[in-house]
Amino acid sequence: MTELTEPNDLLPPDRIPVTIEEEMRSSYLAYAMSVIVSRALPDVRDGLKPVHRRILYAMRESGFTSDKPYRKSARAVGDVMGKYHPHGDSSIYDAMVRMAQHWSMRVKLIDGQGNFGSVDGDSPAAMRYTEARLAKSSSFLLDDIERDTVDFQPNYDESEHEPKVLPATFPNLLVNGASGIAVGMATNIPTHNPGEIIDATLAMIANPEIDLDELTKIVPGPDFPTGGIIMGRRGIRQAFETGRGSIPVRARAEIEEIRKDRQAIIITEIPYQVNKATLQEKIADLVRSKEIEGISDIRDESDRSGMRVVIELKRDATPEVVLNQLYRFTQLQTSFSANMLALDEGKPRTMGLIDILQAFIRFREDVILRRARFDLNKVRDRGHLLVGLVMAVANIDEVIALIRAAPDAATARESLMARQWDAEEVVPLLTLIRDEGNVIIDGKVRLTEAQARGILELRLQRLTGLEREKIQGELNEVAAKITDLLEIIESHIRRMEVMRNELMAARAEIATPRATEISDALGDQSDESLVEPGQMVVTITRDGFIKRTPLEIFRSQNRGGRGRTASGRRGDDVIIRSFNAHTHQWVMFFSSGGKAYRMKVWHLPEAAPTAKGRALVNLLPELGTDSITAVLPLPQDEELWDDLHLVFATASGNVRRNRLSDFRNIRASGLIAMKLDEGDSLIGVATCREGQDVFLATKKARCIRFQITDDTLRVFAGRGSTGVRGIRLAEGDIVNSLCVLNHVEATVEERAAYLRMANAKRRAENAAPAEGADEDITTTSEDSDDVPEIVGSLSQERFEELEQQEEILLTVTDGGFGRRSSAYDYRVSGRGGQGITNMTFSANRRGKEVVGTLPTLDGTDVMMVTDMGRLIRLPVSQVRVMARQASGVTLFRVNDTESVICVFPVLEDDSEDGDADEVIDGGVVSAEGAVPAVEGSEGQADSGAEEGPAADA
C-alpha cells in the first residue's frame, strides 16, 4: 500500500510553496510601483516621464538637434524603442507628437515637420511620413548631460545606459505641465508661463523664505497654450497652496454684429485640452434638441492666422443668454482639476508651487555642483600637463639632449622622469593650480609619466617664443578657471549666482507673453444667467397654484372689453392675486401664518395663460397648510435695498413698520414676519421711507391715509408683534388694499383749490363725458368738513408744482366698475380712525364691494381678473379722473354670475437697467423705494396697542 505524502513533498527541491494571496499581493505591488515610477508620473526635477526623457536623450545621441536637418520620425522612434523604451512604437510616437504640438505644450520640445494632428482631434500622419528634430528649447533640458551632472542607469537589456533624469535648466514640470494615470493615483499639472515661472524661481533664489502671496504676484496662475480665461482665483490659490484645486477656464468669446439685425458669437480661444470639432458637434446637438435656442448657424472659420468659430444667432435671440447657456452646457467652460503629483526622490508626492520650486532649486544646485567637480578634474589634468611643458621649455636644451641620447621613446620617457628638474620657476605655478601630482624634494621636481608623455609629444613649433608665451597664458587661464570652480564647489552663494545667470539665459530664449487671461469674476454660473430676461405676469390661485406667463401674451384692450381667459382652473378654484415682475427679480411671499419666503421669478413655473400652474407647496415645502396672502416683488437693483423699511397691513386693520435688515437672508424654511391674531391675515406688504404716507382701503369703500413718522408709526424692534391699529373697521369690513404714497405739504385750502382747478382743466380737455360716468363732484355732505366750500384759486406756479407731485388712485369694484381720483382728494389724518369714503356705490349697478385701490401712472395699463378665470388689460388713460365719491365707469363687462376679484398695474420695463417702477401687490412703489426682504433677530416686538391720535370720523 502506497504511503500518503504531504503536498509539499511532491514539489521539486528548488521550489518554495507560496500562497496565492501572498503572490498576488507582492506581484501587484511590484506592478503598481513600476507603473508609478517608470511610466505614469513625471519627475519633479525635469518634469518628464521616462518615455519623454528617453525620446529627447535618444534624439540628442543620434544628432537630431535643432541645428541639424529634420530626420524621419520613424528613425527616432526606432532608436528609442531599440535602445531604451521596452514598449510599442505607437506609444513612443504619440509621446513625440504631443511634444511637437503647440496647443498641447507651453514650450515645444520637439520641432516637427508634417502633419502632427490638430486641435480638432485629427490624428497625426504615420511616423514614416513626418519628420522631427529637437527644438531649441530642449537644449536647456539636455545641456551638460555629458559632464556627470546626473546619474545614469542600465537600459532594459543592460546593453546601453540612459539618464535617470535630465539636467534641466528651468522648471519644466510647471512650464509644460503633465498628466497621467498610475495605479491608485493620477497627476494633472497645468502649464504655466515660462517667463513667470523663471521669474518666480529667481525670486525664490533671492529670498528662500518668500511666501505664496509674493509668488502669486509673479505667477498669477496657469497659462494654457490655447489661451482662454480663468474665472476667479480661488482654485488657483488652492492648487498653489495644497497641490489640488479646480480651476474654471472659459473660452474667449465676443459678440459681433455680422450684418444688419444679425449678431454672432465669435469664439477665438477655447479651454485647454478641449477638442474644437467635438465642441461644435455638441453645440449642434443641443440646438437640435432645443436645449439651447436662438442659434441659427455654426461654422468654423479658423485658418493659419488663428481660431475663429462663428455661432450665428437668430434675430430675436439675446446674445448674452445664449452665450451663458453655451458656457453651462458645453465645453466652452470647463474646470481644470489640478492635481500636482510628481516623483520627488523616487516617491510620489503632491506638491504646491513653493514645494516644486524648492525641489527644482535643490536639484539644479546639485547639477551645478557635480558639473563644477567634473570640470575641475578636467582642468586640473590640463594644468598638470601644462606644468610639465613649462618645465620642458625652461630646460629645452637639456630635454633635447636626453631625448637624442635615448634609443627609444620608453627610455626617453624614463630619463625625463628620473631627472630632477629645478622647481624654482614652477613652484609658484604648482601652488597656483594646486597640483598634487608632482613631488618637490629639496627644491627639485620630478616629472610624472603624463607630463613626460606630453613633453615627448610636444611639436617643435611650440618651442618658438610666441608659442612659449601661449603655454604660459593657457596655464594662467587654467589657474583662474580652477579658482572659479573651487569657489562654486565651496560656496552656496556662488552656486546660486551661476543658477541665476543660467535661468536668465533660458528666459531670454523661451519666455513668451501670457496667453491665458485671469479674471476676478467667478466662473460659477447661476441658473439665472441662463434665463431670458423679460417681464412676466405671475398669478396665484385660491387653491395655491402659481405660474408665470410672458407679459406680451396679454394684448391691451379698450375699456369695457370682454377680456381673455387668464388661467385654467380646477373645479371652483379662482385667481386671488396677480402681479407683473421681471424674470430676474426677487419676490417675497408672506403666508397666512405670518411667515416670509423669498424666490426669484424665474424659479416659478412658466406656463400658458390657460394652464393651471404648479402648487406653491411644491415650491415652498415649508409652507404646509398655510396659504400665501401677500406678495412683494423687489427691485432688481440691489443697491436700492439699503435704508428702507417694510410696512405690513392685515385684514383687521393693523399695521406695523420694520427695518428691512430684520428680513435679511431668508432661509428656505421661511422666516417669521409678523404675529397675527386668530382669524387675521396679511393683506399687503410694501416698502417705505420716513415721511411717506400709508394708504389703507377696505372692501366697504372706506379708506384712511396717515403719514409715516416715529410718532404715528414707529419702527418696531422685532418681528413677533401684531402691530398697531391702522384703521378702525365697521362690522363685516376688512382691509384689502395697502399702498405707500408720497407726502405732499399742502393745506386743506390748497388741496380744495387745486382739485377745483384740476377738475376744470380735465373737463376742458375732455368735453364729452365718459360713457356711464357720474357727474364730477368735489364734496358731499358726509365730508363737508374735509373739503370746505372755498372760493378762489391757486397761483399758476403753485398749481403746476402740485400737479407735478400729484398721484392718481384707481378704485375698482367687483362688478367691473372703477374710477380714478387724485390723491389730494384723500386728506392726511391720524392713524387708527374710521377713515373716509372711498367710493359711492350706485343702486343700478352690479357690485357692492371694492376689489382694490392702487396708484396708477399715465401711459401704463392695468389688469383685472375675474373669478371665472378671465382677464383684461386696459390703459389707465381710458379711465376718467373723477371725485373720490364717484361710482365710476364700466371697465370690465362681466357676466351676471361673475365678479372681478383682482386688479393690478402692468408696468413695462423699457429701460436697459431695469429701473422702472415695480408692482407691489395692488399698489405701485417706485424702484427707489422698493427693497428685498431680509432676516433679522427673533426679539420681542412692541405690543399692538394703538398709538397716535385717532382720525376724525
What would the pLDDT profile of 724-753 be if each residue is shown by its tens digit?
999 999 998 999 899 999 998 888 888 888
pLDDT at 607 over 90: no
Give the amino acid at 887: S
Cell of 413: 620617457
Beta-carbon contacts of 312 under 8 Å, excluding residues fewer than 6 positions away, are: 258, 262, 264, 295, 296, 297, 298, 299
For the segment 133-140, the average pLDDT, to the nearest whole number, is 96
Half-sphere exposure of 333 (CA within 13 A, CB side): 18
Instruction: Give percent of the chain above pLDDT 70.
Output: 83
Residue 917 pLDDT grade (very low, low, confident, very high; cuts 50, 70, 90): very low
Distance between CA atoms of 575 and 872, rounded to whole angstroms?
Answer: 13
The answer, yes or no, to whether residue 9 has pLDDT greater than 80, is no
- Region 28-32: mean pLDDT is 74
User: Scanning the structure block, which residue is given the C-alpha cell 392718481?
Assistant: 808
Q: Would you call 824 a catalytic residue per the annotation?
A: no
CA quadruple 195, 196, 197, 203: dihedral sign: positive
Q: Strand, helix or coil at 614? A: strand
Contacts of 352 (CB under 8 A, 6+ apart): 212, 239, 240, 241, 242, 243, 340
- The one catalytic residue in 93, 129, 754, 824 is 129
Domain 252-331 has CATH 3.30.1360.40: yes
Q: How many other CB atoms sit within 10 Å of the CB of residue 757?
A: 17
How confident is the model at residue 437, as a pLDDT? 61
Q: Helix axis angle, 353-394 relative to 234-242, nearest 10°?
A: 50
Contacts of 40 (CB under 8 A, 6+ apart): 49, 180, 181, 182, 183, 186, 187
The whole-number average pLDDT for the span 530-538 is: 76
pLDDT of residue 845: 74
Note the pLDDT of residue 916: 35
Confidence of residue 403 (pLDDT cuts 50, 70, 90): confident
| Alpha-carbon gap, residue 709 to 707, rounded angstroms | 6
Answer with the residue of higher pLDDT: 432 or 855.
855
Q: How far apart are CA 611 and CA 628, in angstroms?
A: 20
Q: Which CATH class is domain 373-503?
A: mainly alpha
Grid coordinates representing 599? 424666490
CB-based contacts of 582, cutoff 8 Å, min separation 6:
533, 534, 535, 536, 601, 636, 909, 914
Q: Which CATH class is domain 533-929?
A: mainly beta
Share of the chain above pLDDT 90, in %: 40
Q: Of 244-258, 583-597, 634-648, which gets the smallest average pLDDT?
A: 634-648
455 pLDDT tier (thresholds 50, 70, 90): confident
CB 147 within 8 A of CB 371: yes
What is the secondary structure of 490-520 as a DSSP string? Answer: H-HHHHHHHHHHHHHHHHHHH-----SEEES
Q: Which of 331, 315, 171, 325 is nearest to 251 (CA)?
A: 331
Quick one: pLDDT band at residue 925, thresholds 50, 70, 90? very low
Return residue ranges of the chain for CATH 3.90.199.10. Answer: 48-167
Compare 372 and 452 and report the one with higher pLDDT.
372
Q: How many residues does the chain have?
A: 953
Domain with CATH 3.30.1360.40 in the chain: 252-331
Confidence band (pLDDT; 50, 70, 90) for 141?
Answer: very high
Boundaries of CATH 2.120.10.90 in the chain?
533-929
pLDDT for res 786: 47
**Residue 780's pLDDT is what?**
36
Give strand ranges (E) for 667-816: 671-672, 682-688, 693-698, 702-707, 724-725, 735-741, 808-813
Start-end of CATH 1.10.268.10 domains in the chain: 373-503
Higher pLDDT, 840 or 369: 369
User: Residue type at 175?
Assistant: V
Choose among 51, 385, 101: nearest CA to 224. Answer: 101
SS (H, E, C) 269-307: ECCCCCCHHHHHHHHHHHHHCCCCCCEEEEEECCECCEC
> Please, what is the average pLDDT of the chain?
82
What are the tens digits of pLDDT across the range 214-244? 999 999 999 999 999 999 999 999 999 999 9
Tell me the β-bridge partners of 586.
600
Name, in order, each residue with C-beta under 8 angstroms of 526's C-beta and a sequence gap of 6 or more. none
pLDDT tens digits, one per residue of 477-523: 888 898 899 999 999 999 999 999 999 999 999 999 999 999 887 65
Check pLDDT > 70 for residue 207: yes
Q: Which fold has domain 48-167?
A: Topoisomerase II; domain 5 (3.90.199)
- Residue 154 phi/psi, 5-degree rounding, is -65, 150
C-beta neighbour count of 442 within 10 angstroms: 6
